[in-house]
Amino acid sequence: MESATSWEYNSLTNELTQGREHAIQLGVHLTSTLLPQHQDLLQKILFSYEKSLLILKWNGPIEQPQPQPQPLAMPITPTPESSLSVDGSLHTDDFSKIIPAHNECYSNASKKRKAMPTWTEKVKINPHTGLEGPGDDGYSWRKYGQKDIQGTKHPRSYYRCTYRHSHNCCANKQVQRSDDDPSVFELTYKGTHTCILASQSAPPPATSPKKKELKLNYHHHFNNESLQADQMLMHLKANLRVKTDELEITKEERSPFSALPTFSSMTGKNHECPFPALAVDDHHFLGTYTPSFMSSGSSESNYFSASSSQMNEYGNFHAFNHSETEQNGIFSANASSTNSPIAGLEYLMDPVALDSNFPFGTTGFFS
DNA sequence: GAAATTTGACCTTG
DNA sequence: CAAGGTCAAATTTC
């Protein structure tokens, strides 16, 4: 298919980015007065911008390698071969048509493991919580294996998306406890969640009640390959300006952004894999982040994931307070269960906290 | 009974 | 061939 030239690519990206910024700002200005139906509409507008930007990035300019897409509230995985133009005429329905073409867990990707987009992140849990594993990332995972890895003290656990079969979702995750610091978990994500779009027509069941909503403190940082949270931060930093042309390009062609946080109301109701970031609380446009865990009685090997980010580009994030501290080299942001989404945006726009390499995490959820 | 986890066997990769 | 990754039957949990 054809792809945009660099000029077209940049122009379109800028236009879409600006449109999204304005929509976000509008949401900020109107947060206190927005009716639920208006909030929903605003979410949809932002969603449309996100999709358009994503598609644009995957197609990319002719002269340039496929840029890594911006982190999305809803991870989706269009392939370069998707037959989408960059003329801005894309509709939601068009976008959904991409899925069957690329979402083949059992085709080439399964034969060549390396073809899967892979990235890692490290999650540190707060020892005071006594929890054995990092929090849920908003997706529903099913453990399918565990293996002792040479040179490590702890076994590695293998998870795949619960909707692998029902929605042909290829996302996988490995969880490895750190030898050096048992409170640190290294999460390796492989593949991206495609169950979210498939779920538009057939939403999968809600969170398993087995996942207990618990308070936790955990720290969160990323290695150089992980661009999820810090990219998200970048996109909203400083006047919400987005630098789409500075996105790094990974070894993979496809987006690594699959693991997104669960955003939910403070009721503890969890929204699973499909549209985790689009879950809109009736009372909070920007929502809140609710980490959840697997059974608290799980063994050491039975960790669940932590979020790859605590926010998304729609501004669906947990509202942090400003008592960030640096602990053990891992940034920690105390989160409060404030009902003010504005406070969260202020946090996001804080230049200090929005360094592109800034590892961030949260502590004190629900405290 | 359905869904999730465990775990040994098997497959893939380097 | 060894190590990592996945499968699938058995088991556990809800």
- Specify the pLDDT at position A57: 61
Residue A240 has pLDDT above 70, yes or no: no
For the CA of A97 and the C1' of C8, the distance in angstroms is 33
Q: Which residue is nearest to nucleotide B5 (CA to C1')?
A: A143
Q: Which nucleotides of B are covered by protein (CB under 7 A)?
A: 3-9, 12-14
pLDDT at A365 over 80: no
Q: Identify the band that residue A22 occupies on the pLDDT scale cut at 50, 70 and 90.
A: confident
Residue A197 CA to residue A51 CA, distance in Å, equals 11
Compare A90 and A30 and report the one with higher pLDDT. A30
Q: Supply φ then ψ for residue A237, to 5 degrees.
A: -75, 160
Report pLDDT for A172.
Answer: 87
pLDDT tens digit sequence for A344-355: 333 333 333 333
Render A97-149 in DSSP notation, one character per residue.
THHHHH--TTSHHHH-GGGS-EEEEEEEE-GGG--SSPPP-SS-EEEEEEE--
Question: A119 or A215, which is more confident?
Answer: A119
Q: What is the pLDDT of residues A120-144, one digit of tens each?
A: 778 877 655 544 444 456 778 999 9
Angstrom distances, CA of residue A80 to CA of A42, A74, A91: 29, 18, 18
> A111 CA, B11 C1': separation in Å?
11
Is the CB of residue A175 less than 8 Å from the CB of residue A185?
yes
Q: CA torsion A351→A137→A151→A184, rounded to 10°?
A: 50
Residue nearest to nucleotide C6 (CA to C1'): A145
The residue ranking higher by pLDDT, A99 or A140, is A140
Nucleotide nearest to A142 (CA to C1'): B4
Q: How many Å does it take to go from CA A172 to C1' C5?
A: 11
If phi > 0 it is left, if psi is from -120 to 50 it is alpha, else beta; for residue A315 that is left
pLDDT in tens, A163-182: 877 777 878 889 998 888 88
In the complex, which nucleotide's C1' lies nearest to the CA atom of residue A298? B5
Footprint of strand B on the protein (CB under 7 A): A 111-114, 140-147, 157, 162, 208, 210, 294, 298-299, 301-302
Identity of the highest mean pLDDT range in A104-108, A187-191, A230-234: A187-191
Strand A184-190 and strand A118-125: the pairing is: antiparallel
Spacing of A172 CA from B9 C1' in Å: 21
- Give, as one character, the DSSP assignment of residue A65: P
Between CA A219 and C1' C4 the distance (Å) reads 28
Q: pLDDT band at A61, cuts 50/70/90?
A: low
Amino acid at position A282, single letter: D
Range of weakest confidence among A46-60, A184-198, A308-322: A308-322
Distance A293 CA to C12 C1' (A): 18
